[in-house]
Structure 1
Amino acid sequence: MVSTAAAQRRALFILAFTLVIGASRFATESLVTKASAAGAFAVGKCGAYGQAYDYPAEATARAAALKQCKGDCTAVTMKRACAALAIDMKNPCGAHGYAVKPKISSSLNAATKKCYEFGGKECVIRAWACDAKG
């Protein structure tokens, strides 16, 4: 015959063991997903863009971003980073700039700066995306 205290200890041990196994599985799956995540950002004329993030491979992310972008577009990949596109509000089919940087604030600033460097008069962010916590 098993005492109540021994049965409670055994049940507590099984519960703790189950929680540890579950937590380690979750952590492992999260690391694998984040390590393999890939994204892409496609940029075209007149403010056209496409974005794809957290894809399993760069090639599939690039294809998805290009599929969303209308017209003749260029795609850049981002892995654990952010991309941004800035266009000139005075002439949306004119100057634009895009950038890929590790943090969203850096990519927004760099895209806006490039838009002005290429002749933009009133550059604003048209689109942005981050991949795997960029």
Structure 2
Amino acid sequence: MTVDERFLALIRSKSVDELKTFIEEKYNYFIKRHGIPDVSFGINGANEFIAALFLADYDQTTTKKIYDNLDMYFGSRCRNPLHFSDFMDTVVNESCIKYQTWSEAFKYFYYSHKAWIRYLRCAS
């Protein structure tokens, strides 16, 4: 299996309950860290947020960059999911996975899980 195939297999191997737990734990980490009640990325931004969390865990060379950017996003009063998306494009291009793989991960979350992701705090 290639690096890209392993990344997608990791994401696809998670049950809905495992995904929900993973997302909520990471989201709550940033909420508590910044002492704020809520932050929303919107539905598309939430899918990118979720994929970013997986990439940060999968490719350790991206972890600091992704977490630093999430700290800036959660800590800012002027949150723009498009800026987060643009930043992630740069990170992905420097990561061990191909941009096409990143797009596939986003589409997987969007098409396979949007029915429940849209109700998460990070998406609303």
User: Fold match, TM over 0.5?
Assistant: no
Tell me which protein shows more strand as a share of its residues.
1
TM-score with structure 1 setting the length: 0.29
RCO higher in structure (CA 8 A, sep ≥6): 2
Larger Rg: 1
TM-score with structure 2 setting the length: 0.31
Tell me which protein shows more helix as a share of its residues.
2
